[in-house]
């Protein structure tokens, strides 16, 4: 009889151990799922943060580009007005200069056979 009660006690102990292991495995699965959600949420938050920073940098770069283009347009307009004024004040100098440049390029690029 002592032998029978020892086996029953061992069976209960094994069953208790198996149930405890199953509870621990279930708890580990739950902890792993929680950790996975936390990592995903953290990664999503970091991605969104980086995305907003890139968008801000892109907006700043676009604004800077537009500012530079406006500045260049003003400079080109000023140069064009100055050049036009100079040509109107000294037309003969410009005509002679253009003629000289034409002769120079003609001599440089003429074919000599």
Domain ranges of the chain: 2-109
| Side-chain-side CA neighbours of residue 56 (13 Å) | 6
Share of the chain above pLDDT 70, in %: 89
| Side-chain-side CA neighbours of residue 90 (13 Å) | 8
Q: Looking at residue 111, what DSSP letter applies?
A: -
Task: Identify whether the C-beta of residue 41 lies closer than 8 Å to the C-beta of residue 34.
Answer: no
Distance CA 99, CA 65 (A): 39
pLDDT score of 5 more than 70: no
Rg, C-alpha atoms of the chain: 43
User: Rounded to two decimals, what is the model's pTM?
Assistant: 0.47
Query: Per residue in 28-67, pLDDT tens?
Result: 999 999 999 999 999 999 999 988 998 889 999 999 999 9
pLDDT score of 3 more than 70: no
- Average pLDDT of the chain, as a whole number: 89
Instruction: Specify the pLDDT at position 13.
Output: 82
Helix runs in the chain, H state only: 2-89, 91-109
């Amino acid at each position: 009889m002592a032998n029978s009660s020892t086996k029953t006690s061992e069976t209960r102990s094994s069953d208790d151990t198996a149930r405890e292991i199953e509870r621990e495995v279930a708890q580990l699965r739950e902890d792993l799922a929680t950790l996975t959600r936390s990592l995903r949420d953290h990664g999503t938050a970091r991605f969104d943060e980086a995305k907003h920073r890139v968008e801000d940098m892109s907006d700043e770069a676009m604004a800077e580009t537009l500012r530079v283009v406006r500045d260049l347009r003003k400079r080109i307009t000023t140069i064009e007005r100055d050049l036009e004024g100079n040509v109107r004040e000294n037309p003969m100098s410009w005509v002679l200069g253009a003629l000289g440049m034409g002769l120079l390029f003609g001599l440089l690029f003429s074919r000599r056979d």
